[in-house]
Amino acid sequence: MKKKLVLIFAVYFLASSIQAQEEYTRPSQLGISFFLNDYTTASRIRASSLSSVLRDKKWAKPGDMNPGIAVHYFKGIRPHIDFAGTLGFSGDENALPDNSNNSGSGLLLEADASVNLKMFTDRYWFQPYLTAGVGGQKYKKSYGAFVPLGVGMKVNFFNEADVVISTQYRLPITTETARYRFFYSFGVAGNIGKRKEPKVIAPPPPPPPVDTDGDGITDDKDKCPTVPGVAKYDGCPVPDTDKDGINDDNDKCPDVPGIARYNGCPVPDTDKDGINDEDDKCKDTPGVARYEGCPVPDTDGDGINDEEDKCPTIPGVASQNGCPEISQEVMKKVEYAAKNIYFSTGSAKLQSKSFKPLNEVVKIMQENKDLLLDISGHTDNTGVATKNMALSQVRADAVKAYMVSKGIDAGRLTATGYGQEKPVADNKTAAGRQLNRRVELKISY
């Protein structure tokens, strides 16, 4: 917020330096004000924080503050900058820090010189401002220095007198002889000098009618006096509303940017797919940009486009995401084979009675070249888990090797061992453990 205020004031100061002859500068003024020194609130803020003081309503009451009287001198330096000198007098018991000798009340004499940075010039009756400067004080036998920082407001009455209200936070430079405090003041100031009014320069007589752009329309009737135009448009050129380089008189689409070969209209988009016809390879059929305006292809013609089709080269059905539906007969043969795979005890050697059901699966794979087979090995929880994992893997690999030996491409097969991680029955019973010692076969596309 502080940075934003500084930026706002900087803009106004720059403006004042450029247009100073048109603004007002504050005349010399003397003023008097009543003020209050607030040590209590400053101490509470430094002990905690501003937000906690506001939240807990611990801002000091006027009765807890030290009153005083001050006289002021004001003088405008620039339209937005005033000099302010202040001399204050107050009876005070708290002027010195806590570790100093504060016994008894004494006269606090303080003086400061500041610069007021105004948002508006004296042309306006209301002028908020920021103030900053340097000051000194004398309390009993102690001398101190401080920096006054704050905000204020000046209200102008008939350009002769002002009401001035300000709040300052006074930061001690000599922390041994001065304290942090708030300084609230309310007062009036009156002019002691004559206000300098801005010089009014009479405008030169109007020049005789001329035609600067030579278009036959004099400047007093020409809305575009430096650009040749036509009478139809009051001396301005024929407009180009859509800024496409084709003037509205020759533009069939004056409100939409276009190109000359389409008489000022955009390149058409016949199929309304957002891709203009010049870039659209399927301009009569709505499509997408990545296929140059054509629809997403459906290679196998099954009504499911390739981007949603898991089997884009094989006609299938939506329920299988574009892949063919696997018959119940095939599924039953594969399930039967899986339940009739046997190994020698504790090894990965297939028993011969496993060959016939596996050969049925081989036949299915040979007849359906696009089918994939997932082989997963499982064990019960008897023994060491790591050994069970290894045994399940080599058994799954043994089934895969058998399928490969029968001519099935290894790329169509996956073999994974899960050990005892995925039981299908209770390992606490012999029947359950037998069910868990299994190989599962799953076919898919």
**196 confidence band (pLDDT: 50, 70, 90):** low
**16 confidence band (pLDDT: 50, 70, 90):** very low
Domains, in order of start, for the chain: 2-191 (2.40.160.20), 328-444 (3.30.1330.60)
Residue 85's Cα: distance from chain center in Å?
Answer: 46
Q: What is the predicted pLDDT for the residue at 400?
A: 95
Over 50: is that where the pLDDT of 22 sits?
no
What is the C-alpha end-to-end distance of the chain, expressed in Å?
A: 65
Average the pLDDT over each of 149-153, 191-195, 317-321 and give the range with the smallest value.
191-195
Residues with Cβ < 8 Å from 10, sequence gap 6 or more? Answer: none
Residues with Cβ < 8 Å from 338, sequence gap 6 or more? Answer: 438, 439, 440, 441
Q: What is the predicted pLDDT for the residue at 358?
A: 94
Please count the CA atoms within 13 angstroms of the CA of 373 that sit on its side-chain side: 32
* 307-315 contact pairs (CB < 8 A, 24+): 310/445, 311/370, 311/445, 314/370, 314/445
Q: What is the predicted pLDDT for the residue at 2?
A: 46
Sign, Cα dihedral of 278, 282, 286, 287: negative
Residues with Cβ < 8 Å from 181, sequence gap 6 or more? Answer: 37, 38, 39, 42, 169, 170
**Exposure letters 331-346 (e unless 16+ CB within 10 A, then b):** eebbeebbebbebeee
Encoded tokens for 62: 């006027």
Mean pLDDT value of segment 228-237: 86
Residue 103's Cα: distance from chain center in Å?
Answer: 57
Over 50: is that where the pLDDT of 110 sits?
yes
Mean pLDDT value of segment 275-303: 86
Q: What are phi and psi of 39, to 5 degrees?
A: -85, -30
